[in-house]
Amino acid sequence: MELLSASEAAAYLRLHVKRVQTLARAGKLPGRRVGRKWLFERRDLEALLGHSTTDGAAGLDISARNQLRGTVLSLTLEGVMAEVRVQIGDQELVSVITRNSAERLKLRVGDTIIAIVKSTEVMIGKGTALA
């Protein structure tokens, strides 16, 4: 069990330390208060982010922060492009990617994927950590 201070958790989550403390106080971030300090288990933060805690080398690791876990609802392949419809909670997201990318990822309806939102683009990622 690796415990992180609020400032270490903030660095790990790429958030301001005050934001981490506010989220913990509101019960939206798993942590516990010991005296005047907040402590966070790295395992809990990794689980919250959807990272694999059993095999750190496997899976998807990317710098973009806006990562949305979802399920492929439909996949339409036409010419060189593919339209991927993804269910994220009660929302639906549509991404248009190259057919080659969809085939390389072996995307299928029902697959668990990560939609990565960066600027005006939505990319699709798939890895062993999502299974």
Locate all alpha helices (DSSP H) within the chain, ordered by sequence. 6-13, 17-25, 42-49, 99-104
Q: Which residues contact 51 (CB under 8 A, 6 or more apart)?
A: 59, 129
Q: Above pLDDT 70, what percent of the chain?
A: 82
Q: How far is CA 108 from CA 69, 97, 116, in A?
A: 15, 14, 18
Residues 89-98, mean pLDDT to the nearest whole number: 92
How much is the pTM?
Answer: 0.48
Backbone angles phi, psi at 52, to 5 degrees: -70, 130
DSSP structural state of residue 53? S
**Bigger pLDDT: 65 vs 48:** 48
